[in-house]
């Protein structure tokens, strides 16, 4: 089988980690009999440098025509990069938000799993870690504060900035269904996270989620306030199976969940619409401070590539093989700097990609 993959390597460590993911994908293709045809697309700072804007319409169309999009990371150092002298809507991040919205990628799936081998990198105490934990954050990705009307006005000689948080019933319902569907294939528990003691959007969120839950009697639903959830994630992360939440809360909680698993360098993500199409990217950023130094951990991108095979291309066996190869490399004691611990062998970005690809062949 042949598939067309749009590749957005992006900025910072993006090109290095995507190169390793492609290496691993090609190894899986050779073994399981499929070929991926890659088309490189520009987004973020890389697109600003060429086109003056972070995402062109042509790029969106090329991505739309592909079977799936594999992405590295976008953005630079906000203090030193000239990209951040531009108005906000022309900065690298605006490209990412625009592609999410244009392709209707409303469901962002971020699994946070503690590998047995990485217990040493987890900052929590042993009695909290126990047998480890395994959760999925289902983050709404095309609504809420990120996409509400925003402006800065001047009133009585003083500047005032306004951001708006809006959710419609339909937007809540479709992401809630996704969360329940995933929970059904796991430990059958959804924790819906909101701020219903303060926000109207959260009160609507809660009532729609309850309505959706009626169609999933085999799945347990609980509601949790976001401040409590932030605390529970470090107090007792084992209690979570699927966390369902709106855009901004999901952004924050997924970073927290990643740290609890040892390193943000391990956290993959899939952004999906109503079809099989998706955009796959690590949950971490472009880490400009270590870009080009062969220091970045490519595993989050490699695991995102595995999600791409599973969700968009139905190549489950190959996806399993990639995930198993990652586990095996960790078992064999290889680590990038971010997850390094005593007695292990530290390797760079490219070597880590080689080691994982070898274990697939």
Catalytic positions, please?
146, 195, 227, 251, 255
Per-position x/- string for 36-75, each x denoting binding to ligand IPM as judged by CB under 6 A, each - no binding: ---------------------------------------x
Window 248 to 277, contacts with Mg ion (CB under 5 A): 251
Does residue 290 have a known ligand-binding role?
Answer: yes
What is the closest distance, in whole angstroms, from the C-beta atom of residue 65 to ligand IPM in the complex?
Answer: 23
Q: Is 347 in the site for ligand IPM (CB under 6 A)?
A: no
User: DSSP string spanning 210-276?
Assistant: HHHHTT-TTSEEEEEEHHHHHHHHHH-GGG-SEEEE-HHHHHHHHHHHHHHTT-GGG---EEE-SSS
Does residue 105 have a known ligand-binding role?
Answer: no
What is the closest distance, in whole angstroms, from the C-beta atom of residue 300 to Mg ion in the complex?
Answer: 12
Does residue 67 have a known ligand-binding role?
Answer: no
Q: Is 329 in the site for ligand IPM (CB under 6 A)?
A: no
Q: Is 251 in the site for ligand IPM (CB under 6 A)?
A: yes
Counting every residue, how long is the chain? 361
Window 272 to 301, contacts with ligand IPM (CB under 6 A): 283
Running DSSP on this structure, what letter comes out for residue 337?
G
Helix (H, G, I), strand (E, B) or coil at 130: coil
96's contact among Mg ion, ligand IPM, none, with CB below 5 to 8 A by partner kind, is ligand IPM
Torsion over CA of 316, 320, 321 and 326, rounded to 10 degrees? 140
Beta strands in the chain (DSSP E): 2-10, 35-40, 68-73, 107-113, 134-140, 150-155, 158-163, 189-194, 220-225, 242-245, 270-272, 278-280, 334-335, 345-346
Q: Is 246 in the site for Mg ion (CB under 5 A)?
A: no
Q: Are 174 and 106 in contact (CB under 8 A)?
A: yes
Q: Is 323 in the site for Mg ion (CB under 5 A)?
A: no
Measured distance CA(136)–CA(130) in Å, rounded: 18
Q: Is 338 in the site for ligand IPM (CB under 6 A)?
A: no
Q: Is 246 in the site for ligand IPM (CB under 6 A)?
A: no
Rule CB under 6 A: choose which of 93, 117, 246, 338 binds ligand IPM: 93
Q: Is 93 in the site for Mg ion (CB under 5 A)?
A: no
Rule CB under 6 A: choose which of 9, 60, 69, 96 binds ligand IPM: 96
Measured distance CA(317)–CA(309) in Å, rounded: 9
Q: Which is nearer to ligand IPM, 250 or 262 (CB)?
A: 250
CA atoms in the 13 A half-sphere facing the CB of 274: 5
Does residue 289 have a known ligand-binding role?
Answer: yes
Binding site for ligand IPM (CB under 6 A): 75, 93, 96, 251, 283
């Amino acid at each position: 089988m042949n598939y067309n993959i749009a590749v957005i390597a992006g900025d910072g460590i993006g090109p290095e980690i995507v190169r390793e993911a492609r290496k691993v994908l090609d190894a899986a293709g050779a073994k399981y009999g499929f070929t991926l045809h890659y088309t490189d697309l520009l987004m973020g700072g890389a697109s600003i440098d060429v086109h003056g804007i972070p995402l062109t319409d042509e790029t969106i169309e090329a991505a739309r025509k592909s079977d799936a999009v594999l992405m590295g990371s976008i953005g630079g150092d906000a203090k030193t990069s000239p990209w951040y002298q531009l108005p906000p809507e022309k900065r690298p991040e605006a490209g990412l938000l625009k592609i999410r919205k244009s392709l209707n990628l409303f469901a962002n799936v971020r699994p946070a799993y503690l590998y047995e081998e990485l217990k040493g990198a987890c900052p929590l105490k042993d009695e909290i870690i126990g047998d480890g934990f395994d959760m999925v954050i289902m983050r709404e990705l095309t609504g809420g504060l990120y996409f509400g009307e925003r402006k800065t006005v001047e009133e009585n000689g003083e500047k005032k900035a306004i951001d708006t948080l809006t959710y419609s019933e339909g937007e809540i319902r479709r992401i809630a269904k996704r969360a329940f569907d995933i929970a059904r294939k796991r430990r059958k528990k959804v924790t819906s996270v909101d701020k219903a003691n303060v926000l109207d959007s959260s009160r609507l969120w809660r009532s729609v989620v309850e309505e959706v839950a009626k169609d999933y009697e085999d799945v347990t639903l609980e509601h949790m306030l976001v401040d409590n959830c932030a605390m529970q994630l470090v107090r007792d992360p084992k209690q979570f199976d699927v966390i369902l939440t709106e855009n901004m809360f999901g952004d924050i909680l997924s970073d927290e969940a990643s740290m609890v698993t040892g390193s943000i360098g391990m956290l993959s993500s899939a952004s999906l619409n109503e079809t099989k199409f998706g955009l796959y990217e690590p949950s971490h950023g472009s880490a400009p401070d270590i870009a080009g130094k062969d220091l970045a951990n490519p595993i989050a991108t490699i695991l995102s590539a595995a999600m791409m095979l599973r969700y968009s291309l139905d190549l489950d066996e190959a996806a399993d093989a990639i995930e198993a190869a990652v586990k095996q490399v960790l078992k064999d004691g290889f680590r990038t700097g971010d997850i390094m611990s005593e007695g292990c062998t530290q390797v760079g970005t490219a070597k880590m990609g080689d080691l994982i690809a070898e274990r697939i062949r």
